[in-house]
């Protein structure tokens, strides 16, 4: 293993050296870095040109310039020497530019990638379990459609239609009769397809889901919930207990009573604790990520203890299920607070709550939760745009691997020895289907560091992608090289991690 | 599963008269190719996609003509004209629902700001986009297959060198190359397509190499070698036909992604340049006109989605058809 890592690293360093030289050469030939100054009319034009030539070493031949650049970069590998990635044409340090852009990109893509992994894998697994059903065909078609959408076309459409329509709707948030009927029918079809079963059962599910949705929408509209959205303590408690039951069913099976009781206790504790906890975190002087994080840690600790004592023979699954229950309860509370912040936030931004450009509203001067909400409303549209394609990839991929695994002999053996369907699917099949998915996710994580060039441009966010494109446009060599070195290193490292993870998860693979 | 004797056609013993086997069904021996074709033609999604794509291609090339041959549509994509109303005159909705019944009108897709017929413009863009996609697919497939098969077949030093070259190409950002070439070349569709083809072959090369590595150890290759077949003959007559599935499927998907790639590059200004055009360039040219003339944005986008979607479905059908594990024909 250490030999494998070392060999990979050495090979990678050589590849990076070759490709960085090629790229340096390409950038040097991509245009005239003095282009904007040649048409400059200010009196100190000569000085400016002089300054830039000196700063970018334009008087040297390309190979020598490359060596200078390489000398600066190699200092980054040794801590303490200080990184020298050069300066942009506007005299900014590239390392500073890069760190700003990187944090903006991570903020943008993290939610999108996490959500699309969770949603995509769930949907993919469900559609593989219902292979050749209406749900499967719908998902397949949707995934292909998402694959075939030009990102910037969708992004512009989202901006023009979704955002403006949603904001107009929010002026007077009521759900009309037509929308209620359409939404209820859709929800009926959705739940009918997911739960499946015989024809009669399916119609019952469809009908119930449609009626429930219609009732819920009309009720929310009537009590003006959309003007003052909130979950409320009762709903939080209900959701928390529901999560407890659901997680037990998924992770251990409902017949494991000790796990179920542990989770229900956690949910009960959460439902009681929410009253003081909500007061604390809503208080704007107290609220900060550190304190919320501390609260989450406390919740995890308490849940783990509960799981430990209730678990008995199923201690492991019990602790896992309890901790997840606690985290979900916490997430419900945060959602509640964010929802309750909506009215005051809406006033500050004149009712246009779905933002279309930038990463935050300038001069908002809001409370802690208003600021968080502000960032979230700015993230919704770009996240959707990025999610479309990743969701399609993950759902297709997980469907394929899951189908592959479900047809393996050991799954038949597991069924033959009388294991429950849950155990077969979750324990035997899904765990093994996760192995190739891990690789895909690891490679993906390496790539996203490069930013979502088009999404960033459409929504005017200043991430890695926009840094790269702007620098390309302005024939600014150092930021391009800085972008390259960060993305290339992350791709190399994450590809290696993917291989290591694969070998670790699948003992049949040996690294050599 | 009932036992089915597949060797029924072979006479059991030369002395006996051929036995009449009682059967309710007949078994027909099929070659691999026939099996693949049958699976593909029974794939409903792929067949629908094939018909739709065929219709779209026919529309694009017959309407405004190609290579000097005039089409049946009179308006030219290059000539500016009088802006009549600007909006699309195409209508399919009957009069009760907000329409005038089926009619095409003078400018079915509307006109742009200088009065050019947008239908003709879109068709022209589609021709160019299809050309780009096809060229990218072709170039990338040829390079990928050659590099992958050389690396996989000869292994050793050749493999190491070719794969390191592949790695180097993988690390170079596509946008950078596109920007550099865009500034130095004429910015036409053909040069852009060749450039993209020179970059996107890497994944196919790796796949082909993997297949070659396993196939070259098979007995039939050894047999061919024992008979004195040359390396060229082994590669092209014995191994490449066995990797055809991978190659065809991958080429199809490359074509689909090339259309989207061209769109993205055009949006960033690194794609096709004036006076040449493409569907991606049309959208990015008219995105600022979105508020006043949304149809300028809609039509090219819809055609991009249509082309990419149908090619993806065809690729899926081909993948299923070539998959030897695939026994069940799709319902």
Q: How many domains does chain A have?
A: 2
* Closest alpha carbon to B208 in B166, B151, B277, B140: B151
Q: Which ranges in chain B are annotated with CATH 1.10.3720.10?
A: 51-76+127-322
Model confidence band, residue B3 (pLDDT cutoffs 50, 70, 90): very low
The beta-carbon neighbor of B305 closest among A11, A14, A148 is A148
Residue B153 forms contact with A (CB below 8 Å): no
Contact B301 A150 (CB under 8 A): yes
A11 contacts B164? CB cut-off 8 A: yes
In whole angstroms, give the CA distance from residue A307 to residue A316.
8
Phi, psi of A444 (to 5 degrees): -60, -45
Confirm or reject contact between B331 and chain A (CB < 8 A): yes
Closest-CA distance of chain A to residue B101, Å: 25
Mean pLDDT for chain A? Answer: 86
Three-state DSSP at A87 gives strand
Search chain A and give the residue with CA nearest B165: A15
Q: Does residue A11 belong to any structural domain of this protein?
A: yes
| Shortest alpha-carbon distance between residue B140 and chain A (Å) | 20
SS (H, E, C) chain B: CCCCCCCCCCCCCCCCCCCCCCCCCCCCCCCHHHHHHHHHHCCHHHHHHHHHHHHHHHHHHHHCCECCECCCCCCCCCCCCCCCCCCCCCECCCCCCCCCCCECCCCCCCECCCCCEHHHHHHHHHHHHHHHHHHHHHHHHHHHHHHHHHHHHHCHHHHHHHHHHHHHHHHCCHHHHHHHHHHHCCCCHHHHHHHHHHHCCHHHHHHHHHHHHHHCCCHHHHHHHHCCCCHHHHHHHHHHHHHHHHHHHHHHHHHHHHHHHHHHHHHHCCCCCCCCCCHHHHHHHHHHHHCCCCHHHHHHHHHHHHHHHHHHHHHHHHHHHHCCCCCCCCC
What span, in angstroms and rounded, lies between the C-alpha atoms of A406 and A397?
A: 14
CB pair distance less than 8 Å for A26 and B180: yes
Q: Is A118:A434 a contact under the CB 8 Å cutoff?
A: no
**Could you tell me the pLDDT band of residue B21, with boundaries at 50, 70 and 90?**
low
A27 to chain B: which residues are within 8 Å by CB? 176, 180
For chain B, what is the radius of gyration of the CA atoms?
26
Question: How many C-beta neighbours within 10 Å does residue B331 have?
Answer: 7
CB contact under 8 A, B312 and A11: no
pLDDT in tens, B40-63: 888 888 899 999 999 999 888 888
Q: Which of A109, A105, A84 is nearest to A481 (CA)?
A: A84
What DSSP character marks residue A286? T
Collapsing DSSP states into helix, strand and coil, what is residue A510? coil
Question: Do B271 and B183 form a contact (C-beta atoms < 8 A)?
Answer: no
Closest of A105, A108, A114, A123 to residue A392, by C-alpha: A123
- Residues of chain A contacting residue B309, judged by C-beta atoms under 8 Å apart: 144-145, 147-148
Q: How far apart are CA A24 and CA A30, in angstroms?
A: 10
CB-nearest to B308 from A29, A30, A148 is A148
Task: Kindly report, residue by residue over A50-103, the tens digit of the pLDDT.
Answer: 888 877 878 888 888 888 888 888 887 777 667 777 788 777 888 888 889 999
- Which segment of A103-107, B234-238, B285-289, B296-300 scores lowest on mean pLDDT? B285-289
Average pLDDT over every residue of A342-357: 83
Distance CA(A50)–CA(A48), nearest Å, equals 5
Q: Do A188 and A210 contact (CB within 8 A), yes or no?
A: yes
pLDDT of residue A417 exceeding 90:
yes
Residue among A18, A30, A144 minimizing CB distance to B309: A144
> CA A402 to CA A52: how far, in whole Å?
57
State the Cα–Cα distance between residues A442 and A234, nearest whole angstrom.
40
Chain B residue closest to A491 (CA)? B171
Q: How distant is the Cα of B182 from the closest Cα of chain A, in angstroms?
A: 9
Q: Which chain B residues contact residue A26 at CB under 8 A?
A: 172, 176-177, 180
Q: What is the dihedral angle through the alpha carbons of B5, B6, B10, B11, rounded to the nearest 10 degrees?
A: 10
B183 neighbourhood in chain A, CB within 8 Å: 30-31
Torsion of CA A414, A418, A424, A429, to 10 degrees: 10
Q: Which pLDDT tens digit goes with each residue over A245-254?
A: 999 988 888 8
Residue B324 has what pLDDT?
A: 63
Q: Which residue has the tokens 């490292």?
A: A493
Residue numbers in B near A156 (CB within 8 A): 287, 290, 297
pLDDT, position A1: 74
For A78-198, where are the alpha helices, taking DSSP H only?
94-129, 134-147, 151-157, 164-171, 177-195
Residue A74 placed within a domain: yes
More confident residue, A333 or B101: A333
Q: Hey, of A401, A472, A491, which one would you mutate to test binding to chain B, going by the most B CBs within 10 A of its CB? A: A472
Q: Provide the pLDDT confidence category of residue A266 given band limits of 50, 70 and 90.
A: very high
Three-state SS annotation for B196-222: HHHHCCHHHHHHHHHHHHHHCCCHHHH
Q: Which of A16, A144, A484 sits opposite B173 (nearest CB)?
A: A484
Which of B167, B175, B287 comes nearest A472 by C-beta? B175
Our CA-based measurement puts residue B308 at a distance from the nearest CA of chain A, in whole angstroms, of 5
CA distance to A182, A188, A228, A292, A338, per residue, from A282 (Å)? 37, 37, 16, 10, 9
Average pLDDT, rounded, for chain B: 80
CB < 8 Å from A in window 101-140 of B: none
Confidence class for position B5, pLDDT limits 50, 70, 90: very low
**Overall size of chain B counted in residues:** 331
B85-124 pLDDT, tens digit per residue, is 666 666 666 555 555 556 666 677 777 777 677 888 888 8
Tokens of A239: 């959701």
**Residues in chain A within 8 Å Cβ distance of B285:** none
- Establish if A27 belongs to a structural domain: yes
Q: What are phi and psi of B89, to 5 degrees?
A: -100, -5
Model pTM score: 0.83
In whole angstroms, give the CA distance from residue A507 to residue A432.
12
Interface contact B268-A27, CB threshold 8 A: no
Task: Name the more confident of B228 and A311.
Answer: B228
A288 in any annotated domain: no
The three-point CA angle B204-A386-B297 to 5° equals 95
Q: Judge: A30–B179 Cβ closer than 8 Å, yes or no.
A: yes
Judged by a CB distance cut-off of 8 A, whether residue B280 touches chain A is: yes
Task: Give yes or no for a contact between A191 and A204, defined as CB atoms under 8 angstroms apart.
Answer: no
Answer with the residue of higher pLDDT: A226 or B291.
Answer: A226
pLDDT band at A498 (very low <50, low <70, confident <90, very high): confident
Measured between CA atoms, the residue of chain A closest to residue B263 is A150
Residue range A227-235: mean pLDDT, rounded: 86
- Residue B259 distance to chain A (closest CA, Å): 9
Check CB contact under 8 Å for A15 and B331: no
B162 and B108 Cβ atoms separated by less than 8 Å: no
Contact A147 B308 (CB under 8 A): yes
* CA R_g for chain A: 27
CA B176 to CA B178: how far, in whole Å? Answer: 5
Q: What SS3 state is found at A253? A: coil
With beta carbons under 8 A apart, name residues in chain A contacting B184: 29
User: Can you tell me the mean pLDDT for A202-217?
Assistant: 90
Q: What are phi and psi of B91, to 5 degrees?
A: -145, 130
Mutate to test the interface with B, among A136, A144, A489 (most CBs of B within 10 A): A144
Residues 6+ apart with CB under 8 A from A483: A98, A101, A450, A464, A467, A468, A471, B173
Q: What whole-number percentage of chain A has pLDDT above 70?
A: 99
| Listed residue (A14, A31, A123, A296) closest to B171, CA to CA | A14
Is the pLDDT confidence value at A322 over 90?
A: yes
Question: Per the CB < 8 Å rule, is A454 touching B264?
Answer: yes
What is the tens place of the pLDDT at every residue in B267-292?
A: 888 888 877 888 888 888 887 777 77
Interface test with B, best of A150, A160, A401, A464 (most B CBs within 10 A): A150
Least CA distance to A17: which residue of chain B? Answer: B168
Nearest CA-CA distance, residue B283 and chain A, Å: 8
Does A485 reside within a domain? yes
CB under 8 Å to A99, separation ≥6 — which residues? none
Q: Given 1.10.3720.10, 1.20.120.400, 3.30.70.3000, 3.60.15.10, which CATH number is that of B51-76+127-322?
A: 1.10.3720.10
CA distances from B222 to A114, A463, B148, B226 (A): 49, 54, 20, 6
Residue A145: its pLDDT value, please?
A: 92
Length of chain A: 512
Q: What are phi and psi of A288, to 5 degrees?
A: -160, 165
Tokens linked to A433: 């289907």
Q: In whole angstroms, what is the distance from residue B111 CA to residue B115 CA?
A: 5
In sequence order, the β-bridge partners of residue B117 are: B111
Closest chain A C-alpha to B197 CA, distance in angstroms: 18
> Is A486 within the bounds of a domain?
yes
Mean pLDDT of A265-283: 87
Give the pLDDT band (50/70/90) at residue A370.
confident
| pLDDT classification of A269: cutoffs 50, 70, 90 | very high
Contact A160 B290 (CB under 8 A): yes
**How do residues A142-156 score in pLDDT, each as one tens digit?**
999 998 888 888 888
Asked if residue B76 has a cis previous peptide bond (ω within 30° of 0), the answer is: no
Name the packing angle between helices A315-348 and A232-251 (round to 10°): 150
Which residue from A19, A453, A472 is facing B168, i.e. has the nearest CB? A19
Structural domain of A52? 2-98+462-495
CB contact under 8 A, A150 and B260: yes
* Test the A interface: residue of B48, B53, B176 with most A CBs within 10 Å: B176
Ranked by mean pLDDT, the top range of A69-73, A178-182, A367-371, A395-399 is A395-399
Nearest-CA distance from B309 to chain A in Å? Answer: 5
Average pLDDT over residues A182-194: 86
Same domain, A90 and A178: no
CB contact under 8 A, B176 and A472: yes
What element of type H or E holds A405?
A: helix A368-406
């Amino acid at each position: 293993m250490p030999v494998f890592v070392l060999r990979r690293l050495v090979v990678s360093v050589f590849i990076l050296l070759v490709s960085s030289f090629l790229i340096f050469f390409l950038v040097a030939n991509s245009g005239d870095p003095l282009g904007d100054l040649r048409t400059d009319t200010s009196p100190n034009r000569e000085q400016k040109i002089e300054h830039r030539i000196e700063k970018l070493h334009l008087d040297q031949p390309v190979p020598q310039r490359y060596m200078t650049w390489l000398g600066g970069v190699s200092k980054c590998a040794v801590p303490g020497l200080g990184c020298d990635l050069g300066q942009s044409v506007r005299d900014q340090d590239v390392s500073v530019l890069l760190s700003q852009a990187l944090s903006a990109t991570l903020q943008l893509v993290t939610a999108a990638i996490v959500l699309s992994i969770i949603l995509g894998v769930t949907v993919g697994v469900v559609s593989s379990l219902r292979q050749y059903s209406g749900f499967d065909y719908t998902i397949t078609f949707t995934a292909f459609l998402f694959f075939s959408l030009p990102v910037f076309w969708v992004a512009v459409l989202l901006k023009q239609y979704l955002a403006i329509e949603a904001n107009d709707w929010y002026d007077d948030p009521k759900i009309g009769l037509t929308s209620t009927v359409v939404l209820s029918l859709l929800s009926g079809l959705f739940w009918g397809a997911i739960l499946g079963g015989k024809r009669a059962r399916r119609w019952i599910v469809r009908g119930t889901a449609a009626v429930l949705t219609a009732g819920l929408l009309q009720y929310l509209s009537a009590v003006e919930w959309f003007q003052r959205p909130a979950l409320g303590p009762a709903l939080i408690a209900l959701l928390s207990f529901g999560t407890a039951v659901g997680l037990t069913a998924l992770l251990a099976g409902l017949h494991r009573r000790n796990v179920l009781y542990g989770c229900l206790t956690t949910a009960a504790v959460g439902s009681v604790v929410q009253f003081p906890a909500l007061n604390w975190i809503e208080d704007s002087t107290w609220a900060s990520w550190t304190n919320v994080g501390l609260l989450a840690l406390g919740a995890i600790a308490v849940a783990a203890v509960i799981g430990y004592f209730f678990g008995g023979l199923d201690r492991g699954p019990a602790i896992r299920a309890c901790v997840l229950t606690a985290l979900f309860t916490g997430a419900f509370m945060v959602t509640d607070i964010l929802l309750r912040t909506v009215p005051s936030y809406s006033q500050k931004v004149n009712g246009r709550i779905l933002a279309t450009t930038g990463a935050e509203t300038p001069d908002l001067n809001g409370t802690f939760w208003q600021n968080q909400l502000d960032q979230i409303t700015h993230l919704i549209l770009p996240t959707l745009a990025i999610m479309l394609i990743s969701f399609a990839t993950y759902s297709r991929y997980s469907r394929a691997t899951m189908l592959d695994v479900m047809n393996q002999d050991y799954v038949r053996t597991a069924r033959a020895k009388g294991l429950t369907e849950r155990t077969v699917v979750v324990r035997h099949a899904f765990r093994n289907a996760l192995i190739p998915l891990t690789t895909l996710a690891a490679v993906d994580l390496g790539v996203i560091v490069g930013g979502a060039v088009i999404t960033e441009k459409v929504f005017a966010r200043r991430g890695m992608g926009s840094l790269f494109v702007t620098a390309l446009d302005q024939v600014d060599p150092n930021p391009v090289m800085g972008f390259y070195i960060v993305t290339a290193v992350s791709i190399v490292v994450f590809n290696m991690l993917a291989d290591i993870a694969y070998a670790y998860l699948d003992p049949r693979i040996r690294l050599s | 599963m009932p036992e089915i004797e597949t060797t029924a056609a072979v006479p059991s013993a030369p002395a006996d008269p051929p036995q009449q086997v009682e059967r309710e069904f007949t078994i027909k021996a099929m070659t691999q190719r026939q099996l693949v074709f049958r699976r593909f033609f029974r794939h409903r999604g792929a067949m629908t996609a094939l018909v739709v794509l065929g219709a779209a291609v026919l529309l694009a090339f017959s309407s405004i003509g190609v290579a000097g041959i005039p089409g049946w549509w009179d308006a030219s994509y290059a000539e500016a004209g009088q802006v009549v109303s600007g909006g699309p005159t195409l209508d399919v909705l009957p009069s009760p629902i907000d329409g005038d019944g089926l009619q095409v009108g003078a400018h079915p897709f509307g006109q742009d700001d200088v009065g050019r017929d947008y239908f003709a413009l879109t068709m022209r863009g589609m021709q160019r986009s299809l050309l780009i996609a096809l060229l990218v697919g072709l170039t990338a497939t040829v390079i990928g297959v050659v590099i992958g098969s050389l690396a996989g077949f000869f292994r050793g030093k050749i493999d190491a060198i070719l794969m390191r070259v592949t790695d180097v190409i993988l690390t170079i950002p596509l946008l950078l190359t596109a920007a550099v070439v865009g500034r130095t070349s004429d910015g036409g569709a053909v040069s852009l397509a060749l450039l993209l083809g020179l970059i996107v072959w890497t994944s196919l090369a790796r796949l082909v190499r993997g297949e070659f590595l396993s196939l070259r150890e098979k007995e039939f290759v050894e047999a061919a070698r024992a008979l004195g077949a040359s390396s060229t003959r082994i590669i092209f007559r014995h191994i490449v036909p066995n990797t055809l599935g991978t190659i065809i499927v991958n080429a199809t998907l490359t074509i689909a992604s090339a259309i989207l790639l061209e769109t993205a590059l055009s949006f960033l200004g690194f794609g096709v340049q004036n006076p040449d055009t493409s569907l991606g360039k049309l959208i990015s040219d008219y995105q600022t006109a979105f508020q006043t003339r949304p149809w300028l944005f809609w039509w090219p986008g819809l055609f991009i989605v249509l082309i990419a979607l149908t090619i993806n479905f065809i690729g899926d059908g081909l993948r299923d058809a070539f998959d030897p594990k695939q026994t069940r024909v799709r319902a």
